[in-house]
A and B are shown apart, each in its own frame.
Chain A
């Protein structure tokens, strides 16, 4: 017995509501973030992640209130991502009750920000979010590159090299999203997950593409992820976190039941 693999429901928050779109379009409303977070907490979620999907000034204030409200009632780790660009942004979210912050675009535009953040607040609260897309042609060895702005902007950075660099700079955890799979419900990009997990010594959270419970199990058993993140599979009542954990346990994965 030992460390459990984690299930992390992700709440995309826009204007104080949980939303979920398919590849960033066709946004559906999925409820009040505080209610949703409490429900996942009761179902046995190991952590909860909030993603500010628009990251406007107004939305950031709203997010701060959401985190405050959730942190006073839910006693599991909370991560907040989206629009985290300065040390002051991090301080605000940690003071509101977040345990970790996710840094995405700001790490690409200024990698030293990751170092600054880790030095200031400790690696344990710095999650670097990596959005990767497969760029190799068919028949070629698989290669992935980093994309920003919700998958619209390419950077030319190799995903595996980037992951290693982020860990060197102080990332305590990586949130790895396959932009090819996000919202498709066709499962994680297991090759990508495995490649990143093997390349770094910090925990890797697999994200993007979960459509059924088996996808979560595969992310851990085949992709070697330390945690799996999913949104829509839980939001619309298809499955509970508890069901997901039971299935994982049946397939030999250690979980917190």
Chain B
């Protein structure tokens, strides 16, 4: 049976992610788990996350999941969502500076520090439905219209060193990276589980993906 592990490290609303996956793949076995064995043996792995990145990182260490994530992200289809994306970078400026898992060289930065124009009404967190501009062709974008809107809620964004890692961008008001990819890893800043049809389609595409681009 097709088994999907949603990594549970106590951060955020994992039920929503699991429900959305169950909806697009009623026959798959969706498991919200912190058990390394279950994660290592799953066919697809989802790495979500919400809240403060410092607390997220501390929980990953406490649950001894860092090595597990390094292993699975090197070998099977792996989807990072929100903080689960930000943790894949080298470093985040949040919480006084937090080291990430370094799958993607680059940093995670705060909106306030980089936005020069229209700051008077720039609200942070960036919250709501914004357009996602696909910058590459990728199996996870199958049947998702260019510039579709997805639901975002975040105050920090990723800035990968390698432009080839960028899979999508979004404007707020300046352009930032809203999806990254390499090999069997795909990660998004928005919440596909809260993004209606387009979000469910992306999750369906992920579960149909063999990790080859």
Taking Cβ atoms with an 8 Å cutoff, the residues of A that contact B are 1-6, 41, 46, 71-72, 75-77, 94-99, 119, 121-125, 172-173, 201-204, 224, 226-227, 256
Decide: A75 and B196 in contact? CB cutoff 8 A.
Answer: yes
**What is the CA–CA distance of A204 and B125 in the complex, to the nearest angstrom?**
11
Judge if B210 is at the interface, Cβ distance under 8 Å. Answer: no
**What is the CA–CA distance of A204 and B123 in the complex, to the nearest angstrom?**
9
In order of increasing CB-CB distance, the 9 nearest A-B pairs are A122-B51, A256-B129, A4-B129, A124-B153, A3-B130, A256-B149, A203-B123, A2-B171, A203-B127
Across the interface, A121 reaches (CB within 8 A) one of B51, B124, B199, namely B51
Nearest residue in B to A122 (C-beta to C-beta)? Answer: B51
List B contacts of A204 (CB < 8 A). 123
**What is the CA–CA distance of A5 and B9 in the complex, to the nearest angstrom?**
32
Decide: B19 and A124 in contact? CB cutoff 8 A.
Answer: no
Counting chain B CB atoms within 10 Å of each CB, the highest count among A5, A76, A202 belongs to: A76
Decide: A46 and B125 in contact? CB cutoff 8 A.
Answer: no
Given contacts A2-B131, A122-B51, contact A224 B172 (CB under 8 A): no
In the assembled complex, 25 residue pairs joining A and B whose CB atoms fall closer than 8 Å, in A order, are: A1-B171, A3-B128, A3-B130, A3-B172, A4-B128, A4-B149, A5-B128, A6-B129, A46-B129, A71-B16, A76-B151, A77-B153, A77-B194, A98-B13, A99-B194, A121-B50, A121-B51, A124-B51, A124-B153, A125-B50, A172-B127, A172-B153, A201-B122, A203-B128, A226-B123
Interface of B is mostly: mixed
Across the interface, A1 reaches (CB within 8 A) one of B20, B131, B151, B199, namely B131
List B contacts of A119 (CB < 8 A). 52
Decide: B129 and A3 in contact? CB cutoff 8 A.
Answer: yes
List A contacts of B152 (CB < 8 A). 3
CB distance from B115 to the nearest CB of A (A): 11
List A contacts of B195 (CB < 8 A). 75-76
Decide: A72 and B172 in contact? CB cutoff 8 A.
Answer: no
List B contacts of A125 (CB < 8 A). 13, 50-51
Taking Cβ atoms with an 8 Å cutoff, the residues of B that contact A are 12-13, 15-16, 19-20, 23, 50-52, 121-131, 147, 149, 151-155, 171-173, 191, 193-196, 199-200
**What is the CA–CA distance of A201 and B115 in the complex, to the nearest angstrom?**
13
Given contacts A2-B171, A97-B16, contact A172 B125 (CB under 8 A): yes
CB distance from A32 to the nearest CB of B (A): 20
List B contacts of A173 (CB < 8 A). 125, 127
**What is the CA–CA distance of A98 and B123 in the complex, to the nearest angstrom?**
22
Decide: A99 and B13 in contact? CB cutoff 8 A.
Answer: yes
List A contacts of B193 (CB < 8 A). 75
Decide: A2 and B173 in contact? CB cutoff 8 A.
Answer: yes
Decide: B151 and A77 in contact? CB cutoff 8 A.
Answer: yes
CB distance from B51 to the nearest CB of A (A): 3
Given contacts A99-B13, A122-B50, contact A75 B23 (CB under 8 A): yes
Decide: B125 and A124 in contact? CB cutoff 8 A.
Answer: yes
Decide: B128 and A6 in contact? CB cutoff 8 A.
Answer: yes
Q: Other CB < 8 Å A-B pairs besides A4-B130, A77-B153, A121-B50, 20 of them?
A: A2-B130, A2-B171, A3-B152, A4-B129, A6-B129, A72-B19, A72-B23, A75-B16, A75-B195, A75-B196, A75-B199, A95-B15, A97-B19, A98-B13, A122-B51, A172-B127, A173-B125, A201-B123, A202-B123, A203-B123
Counting chain B CB atoms within 10 Å of each CB, the highest count among A71, A124, A201, A202 belongs to: A124
List A contacts of B124 (CB < 8 A). 201-202
Decide: B50 and A124 in contact? CB cutoff 8 A.
Answer: yes
Decide: A123 and B151 in contact? CB cutoff 8 A.
Answer: no
Nearest residue in B to A68 (C-beta to C-beta)? Answer: B15
List A contacts of B171 (CB < 8 A). 1-2
Decide: B127 and A124 in contact? CB cutoff 8 A.
Answer: yes
List B contacts of A77 (CB < 8 A). 151, 153, 191, 194
Across the interface, B200 reaches (CB within 8 A) one of A41, A75, A201, namely A75
**What is the CA–CA distance of A41 and B200 in the complex, to the nearest angstrom?**
14
Nearest residue in B to A41 (C-beta to C-beta)? Answer: B196
Across the interface, A99 reaches (CB within 8 A) one of B16, B128, B196, namely B16
CB distance from B88 to the nearest CB of A (A): 19
Nearest residue in B to A255 (C-beta to C-beta)? Answer: B129
**What is the CA–CA distance of A77 and B195 in the complex, to the nearest angstrom?**
8
